[in-house]
Chains A and B, each alone.
Chain A
Amino acid sequence: MDEQRIRISVGLGACGIAAGARKTLASIEEGIASRGLDVELGISGCMGMCYREPLVEIARPGKPPEVYMELSADRVPRFLDEVVAGGGEIEEWIGRAEDRDCPDDGFFSKQKRIVLRNAGRINPERLEDYLAVGGYRALGKVLAEMSREQVIEEIKASGLRGRGGAGFPTGLKWGFAAKAAGDVKYIICNADEGDPGAFMDRSVLESDPHAVLEGMAIAGYAVGSSQGYIYCRAEYPIAIRRLGIAIAQAAEAGWLGDRIQGSEFSFHIKIKEGAGAFVCGEETALMASIEGRRGMPRLRPPFPANEGLWKKPTNINNVETLANVPWIIVNGAAAYAALGTESSKGTKVFALAGKVNRGGLVEVPMGITIREIVEDIGGGIKGGKKFKAAQMGGPSGGCIPASLADTPIDYESLNKTGAIMGSGGMVVIDDSTCMVDVARFFLDFTQKESCGKCTFCRVGTKRMLEILERITAGEGKQGDIELLEELAATIKRGSLCGLGQTAPNPVLTTIRYFRDEYEAHIKDKVCPAKACRALITYVIIEENCNGCGVCKRACPVEAISGEKKELHVIDPDKCTRCGLCMDRCRQDAIRVV
């Protein structure tokens, strides 16, 4: 990198691309050429501020880097003229700069970035960038100075626990695989991030793939494995492509392959692409899938550490867990253990989404409260609505009500609420979301994703879903809540893997904290959040309607009538509650009652 030139990097994570960052990149490229500007143009990964994409960082000689936000292609000409060529600034577009206060600083001030240390700061497609920020120093140190036992002890001392959700101590797991008898052992990186509402691993893989490769190689050294697999879901094409590039670069530079950096240690990594089955995030199902079989879990023990992939000892860690490893080796276990709480050390990455103002990727020290994440980092609820709950842990987790928002983020405290830490999805829910519908949503998900092996999971989730569908359709009966609870207990007991064992959690936590909403649906046939379609009616407010006719044209079933410039009326019998009219109305004249 040339410090004397202007450097511009465009954030090209999946969120950025969705927001049009590729167009931004193309128009900057074009604009630089046509203006004859001397600029080093590159790309970076995810900067975390999904809510402000596309994001562009500019670093000018003698000035701290500035992040320009919402820089869509149409804003590029002004950016190039005033900022790049003119040497000035467009104050209102700047989202982050070290030398001044920005309106969105709150998004960053409570974060602590270890896993995301390089995300958005380096070009993920260039090994040189990773090396320049100290990449592969940890692997170098391990190979030069540390025994296998020392590495495992270091990870144990750091207190790192599995970030996939269950929170098993990583060092202990490595120790099991290291002790297991056998010449051939495998390392698997579980990148099958299937929880809806979770995108931590995607962002890490897209933004800093070498960190994960380095973590895998260190794990390989510690347990005595020379072959690693990354099982990545096919829905993440950018992550898969960048991993492929990173593996080739690392091999070329001698950080992967035979006799790494001249040592005795060899380590190879292959990518295995998932084929769209949520259950493959479960470790035994994942291994079955790599072996080319249906991804169905099996009974444990034997645990993978003793009998895993192709019946060989196998160590499986999640993406985020592995990305922590190089930092721990370089900075020491004590530095990591100094962060967090007694039982939960270090940091946790969350994908903050839903009805929050600043949705994005955040990394916080363990022990911070849910409220701090939602209100301080996330900037509170969109549209001034009321914070009702945070859904954590996806289909295996639960809904934590706003009344428990001061619960600290650590494995044990979250378990006590009935939810779980989970892999890091945090979907914020406001008072316009129906909790029974949220429960129905997750049961619909788990019911479809159940692999079908265990009867209780296969049939039980289906029965629970039917009851929830009935309740949300206004056909709930007395005793439904109790029946749901009974089914939940049975499914938890009668299922082999985590999918079934945790599938009832979203229902149980919503019953526990929002029982009144269930009862309102069942007894009064009312949806308090005004979300369940069978229980609502769309009406036009007379004072606000100016008779423009937009709603009438938008209605797909001709349920709206009215003459031009006169009050329009919705026929509730024809209306399918699709919401298109409300979506189109500019007069705020359509309400749900």
Chain B
Amino acid sequence: MSSVHVNRIIDRHGAERASLIPVLQDIQDDYNWISEPHLRQVADRLGLPLSEVYGVASFYRALSLEPRGKTLIRVCKGTACHVRGAQLIQEELERQLGIQAGGTTEDMAYTLEVVNCVGACGMAPVVIVGDKYFPGVKPHRAKKLVQTERDEE
């Protein structure tokens, strides 16, 4: 069964090879992940082998082949954040959420990710919760970030 929404995404970009990544990005944005049926549908419509589509989808970090939590928490681990203690913040968040980086909480509320560098090095160390940036995070404040987010819901 093909998804009407995914078809619409493909129509918007054009059913051609060069559209593969933008199509997958849009599916990722709208669904928070890319499921196998969606991969098959994209392969079908773009006239590409499923292996190709899977190869591309698994190559890029922004594309997820597993469901992600509602809120994405990203710990920046660029050089500036690293030398200012990002590792401790990552570990504290892992403790608070009870998951490892890359994992998703059981209630599907959070996914914790480590990112290379968000380019806000002057504010290091940085944590991004959803689309909110938190500058100069201290390890003990990491707990608060999660709590605040939970309270707001």
Contacts and interface: CB of A to CB of B under 8 A. Distances in A.
B56 A292 contact: yes
Interface in B48-105: 55-56, 59-63, 77-80, 82-85, 88, 91-92, 95
Contacts of A198: 117, 119, 121
Contacts of A237: 131
A51 B116 contact: no
Contact of B88 (A199, A353, A578): A578
A291 interface: yes
A196 B78 contact: yes
A50 B123 contact: yes
A549 interface: no
B21 A275 contact: yes
The A interface is mostly helix, strand or loop, or mixed, namely mixed
Interface residues of A, number: 61
A587 to B, nearest CB: 15
Contact of A197 (B17, B95, B117, B140): B117
A202 B119 CA distance: 7
Contact of A580 (B61, B83, B139): B139
Given A17-B133, A273-B22, A275-B25, A236 B119 contact: yes
A271 B119 CA distance: 19
B112 interface: no
Contacts of A441: 79, 82
Contacts of B21: 272, 275, 289, 292
Interface residues of B, number: 45
A235 B92 contact: no
A20 B61 CA distance: 28
Given A14-B120, A292-B18, A579 B139 contact: yes
Contacts of B140: 554, 580, 583-584
A50 B80 CA distance: 13
Interface string B133-152: 11100111000000000000
A17 B133 CA distance: 7
B118 interface: yes
A391 B61 contact: no
15 contacts: A14-B119, A14-B133, A17-B133, A18-B120, A195-B117, A202-B119, A235-B115, A275-B62, A276-B63, A277-B59, A353-B79, A355-B83, A427-B80, A427-B83, A579-B139
Interface of B: 17-22, 24-25, 55-56, 59-63, 77-80, 82-85, 88, 91-92, 95, 115-124, 126, 131, 133-135, 138-140
Interface of A: 14-15, 17-19, 50-51, 53, 193-199, 202-203, 234-237, 272-278, 289-295, 351, 353-355, 359-361, 391, 394, 425, 427, 429, 433, 438, 441-442, 445, 449, 451, 554, 556, 578-580, 583-584
